[in-house]
A and B are shown apart, each in its own frame.
Chain A
Amino acid sequence: MVLLFAEVQQGNFKKTTLEAATYAAKTAELLGVASVAIVLGEAENAAELGLYGIQKVYQVRHDHLKNFDNQVGAIVLSAAAHQLEASVIVLSHTSNGKALAGRLAARWNAASISGATGLPTLKDGVLHVRKGMFSGKAIAEYALKSEHKVITVMGNALQPLQHGALASVETLSLEVPSPKIKIKEVKRVEGIVPLPEAELVVSAGRGLKGPENWGIVEELASALGATTACSRPVADSHWRPHHEHVGQTGVAIRPNLYIAIGISGAIQHLAGVNNSKTIVVINKDADAPFFKAADYGIVGDLFEIVPKFTAAVKKLKA
């Protein structure tokens, strides 16, 4: 049996959970076993996981599950895996998913893949899974030889695929210890799609010359429905908040479209964005290294190009 940890954020499933559900369903199909999900705490739309191929949803409700805690999560999930006789646990490669996966691998003595970039394959009866390495500069294929396996699915590695019907939801009673970590406060960036989940990203660098010029970047992002990002020097100079910094030491992303405006493309920046499906580079310097990693490029003055770009996008969408 393949068991999905269906991560809930603020009462709902995010796209990353639906991608992991699709991954779990496909893995179960490959292995010829059932696919089930476990939900810790409340979720409004638990049955909808069925639409992504999950056959049954188990919900664990407990006061101790109000906030996610990786230590409690590992205890509950491994007990569920034991009770349901699961052989594979699939999670999203989110902040919580990564922490839980590591703990589960240790607790359950499971071979683990952190950040799978493609669906598994079977070779001589052994499950093989691929993941990115060296910040996207290479791919490694692993053979998972143990009885138990834990896989986290990289965001945007596959598209959520609707092909089933609503799943039945059953309550699972398990012992839930109290968490040792107390959550004092949660600060959420409201109103925008967080960078790791964004499909379209408009990013700018030092070429913008100063924070007062950011309006043209935001207008393009808004015309596209994209999330804004920035390079390290921009975040370090406090032109933009740190959570917008993409690159080696910032957030690593893999959107469908990454538009880099006035960013030269230092290797540390590329490490965080080079898995984007399509890259557009706008830079006045034709020798900027970013053009080598780009699909489309425009050489010229960004202050002229970006407003025209915004106008052309609006025209397309009109």
Chain B
Amino acid sequence: MKLLVCLSKVPDTTTKITFAEEGKRFDENGVTFILNPYDEWYALVRALELKEAHGGTVTVIHVGPSANDAVIRKGLAIGADDAVRIDATQSSSLFIAKQISAFVEAEKGYDIIFTGKETINYNRSEVGAMIAEYLDQPFISFANHLEINGSTATLDREIDGGTEVVEVETPFVVSAAKGMAEQRIPNMKGIMMANKKPIKVVPPVPFDEIAVPVFYELPPAKSGVKLIDADNIEELVRLLHEEAKVI
């Protein structure tokens, strides 16, 4: 089986978010970047498990400049066989999806393309659907379980207020949610091996950006917590009813 896992680079969850140039760009000063947890913990690990059970290859793909090679090496250290980096700096969902699908069309033969359910910076959940549309393949979003038997896959996907069990033939695109696999910590051997595995660098295909961020800002700060005495719960209920007007 030929499996492709899309990787994103994101700021660590605990990052304090600040913006530079009057909100025109995200201030990367002092920020620790990590591999997007949904891509790493669920998508990549499930792809590796499928390879271990059924044979095949796992390739990781990333759209970004060479400064991002560290997140690709992390994917290789966890166990991917090889990597592709599309050399570009743009970050809109359509741009990324266009690049990845152009690579897949040129390379051919991927049975399953994995993404995480969303990135923890943009929270867009779009790229998987866009890749599927560009490639005219089925897309199963928010899957928390994936089994494969020959060319038929069975998946559980989260829907609003429940779960759907679906069946689909390869090739398809899937976005991975919590539950699809368990996080793997790369060992020393994996980390050493990762430095020897190839990262193929591919130039981007031309694409015009059509949705551009104009500025960023922080949400209005909370005015501070109003503490209520534990012996005066009725006051809390009164405030929720009369001041916050939520009950």
B89 CB to nearest A CB, Å = 17
User: Does A297 make an interface contact (CB < 8 A)?
Assistant: yes
Complex contacts, A164 vs chain B, CB 8 Å: none
**Who on chain A is nearest to B226 by CB?**
A296
Query: Within the assembled complex, what's the spacing in Å between the Cα atoms of A277 and B222?
Result: 10
User: Does B247 make an interface contact (CB < 8 A)?
Assistant: yes
**Given A109-B210, A145-B212, are A280 and B97 neighbors across the interface (CB < 8 Å)?**
no
Q: List the one stretch of A29-37, A187-195, A210-218 in contact with chain B.
A: A187-195
Contacting pair A296 B164 (CB below 8 A): no
Complex contacts, B178 vs chain A, CB 8 Å: 242, 249-250
Kindly state the interface size class of chain A when it binds its partner: 35 or more
A216 CB to nearest B CB, Å = 13
Binary interface profile of B, 152-182, with partner A (CB < 8 Å = 1, else 0)? 0010011111111111110010000011000
Contacting pair A299 B139 (CB below 8 A): no
Complex contacts, A134 vs chain B, CB 8 Å: 11, 15, 17, 120-121, 123
Binary interface profile of A, 64-101, with partner B (CB < 8 Å = 1, else 0)? 00000011001000000000000000000011101111
User: Does A102 make an interface contact (CB < 8 A)?
Assistant: yes
Query: Within the assembled complex, what's the spacing in Å between the Cα atoms of A194 and B158?
Result: 12
Contacting pair A200 B247 (CB below 8 A): yes
Query: Within the assembled complex, what's the spacing in Å between the Cα atoms of A299 and B225?
Result: 12
User: Does A111 make an interface contact (CB < 8 A)?
Assistant: yes
User: Does A237 make an interface contact (CB < 8 A)?
Assistant: no
Contacting pair B17 A316 (CB below 8 A): no
B210 CB to nearest A CB, Å = 4
- Chain B 193-216 interface residues, beta-carbon cutoff 8 Å to A: 210-216
Contacting pair B167 A197 (CB below 8 A): no
Query: Within the assembled complex, what's the spacing in Å between the Cα atoms of A99 and B211?
Result: 18
Contacting pair B210 A145 (CB below 8 A): yes
Contacting pair B230 A298 (CB below 8 A): yes
User: Does A157 make an interface contact (CB < 8 A)?
Assistant: no
Complex contacts, B239 vs chain A, CB 8 Å: 296
Complex contacts, A163 vs chain B, CB 8 Å: none
Contact with A185, one of B13, B14, B165 (Cβ below 8 angstroms): B165
Contacting pair A111 B211 (CB below 8 A): yes
- Chain B 1-55 interface residues, beta-carbon cutoff 8 Å to A: 11, 13-15, 17, 19, 37-38
User: Does A1 make an interface contact (CB < 8 A)?
Assistant: no
Complex contacts, A161 vs chain B, CB 8 Å: none
Complex contacts, A114 vs chain B, CB 8 Å: 93, 122-126
User: Does B142 make an interface contact (CB < 8 A)?
Assistant: yes
**Who on chain B is nearest to A277 by CB?**
B246
Please report the number of residue pairs spanning A and B whose Cβ atoms sit closer than 8 angstroms: 261
User: Does B188 make an interface contact (CB < 8 A)?
Assistant: no
Contacting pair A115 B132 (CB below 8 A): no
B200 CB to nearest A CB, Å = 24
Complex contacts, B238 vs chain A, CB 8 Å: 316
Contacting pair A112 B126 (CB below 8 A): yes
B-side interface residues, number (CB < 8 Å)? 80
Query: Within the assembled complex, what's the spacing in Å between the Cα atoms of A102 and B177?
Result: 17
Contact with A106, one of B13, B129, B160, B228 (Cβ below 8 angstroms): B129
Q: List the one stretch of A38-46, A55-63, A301-309 in contact with chain B.
A: A301-309
**Who on chain B is nearest to A67 by CB?**
B164
Query: Within the assembled complex, what's the spacing in Å between the Cα atoms of A117 and B225?
Result: 24
**Who on chain A is nearest to B138 by CB?**
A180
Contacting pair A9 B160 (CB below 8 A): yes
Best-surrounded residue of B123, B219, B226 (most CB of chain A within 10 A): B123
Complex contacts, A104 vs chain B, CB 8 Å: 133
Best-surrounded residue of A146, A250, A312 (most CB of chain B within 10 A): A312
User: Does A153 make an interface contact (CB < 8 A)?
Assistant: no
A103 CB to nearest B CB, Å = 4
Contacting pair B237 A312 (CB below 8 A): yes
B98 CB to nearest A CB, Å = 8
Binary interface profile of A, 116-156, with partner B (CB < 8 Å = 1, else 0)? 00000000000010001111111111111110000000000
User: Does A167 make an interface contact (CB < 8 A)?
Assistant: no
User: Does B236 make an interface contact (CB < 8 A)?
Assistant: yes
Contacting pair A280 B123 (CB below 8 A): no
**Who on chain A is nearest to B157 by CB?**
A95
**Who on chain B is nearest to A268 by CB?**
B13
Contacting pair B133 A102 (CB below 8 A): yes
User: Does B71 make an interface contact (CB < 8 A)?
Assistant: no
User: Does B106 make an interface contact (CB < 8 A)?
Assistant: no
The 8 A-B pairs of least Cβ separation, nearest first, read A102-B129, A300-B230, A194-B161, A111-B211, A106-B133, A146-B210, A102-B126, A188-B162
| Interface contacts beyond A112-B211, A296-B240: sample of 4 additional A-B pairs, CB < 8 Å, sorted by A | A71-B137, A106-B133, A184-B167, A188-B162
A sample of 7 inter-chain contacts (CB < 8 A) reads A106-B129, A114-B93, A144-B210, A298-B230, A298-B236, A299-B230, A315-B234
> What residues make up the interface of B, taking CB atoms closer than 8 Å to A?
11, 13-15, 17, 19, 37-38, 93-94, 97-98, 120-134, 136-142, 154, 157-169, 172, 178-179, 210-219, 222-223, 225-230, 233-234, 236-241, 244, 246-247
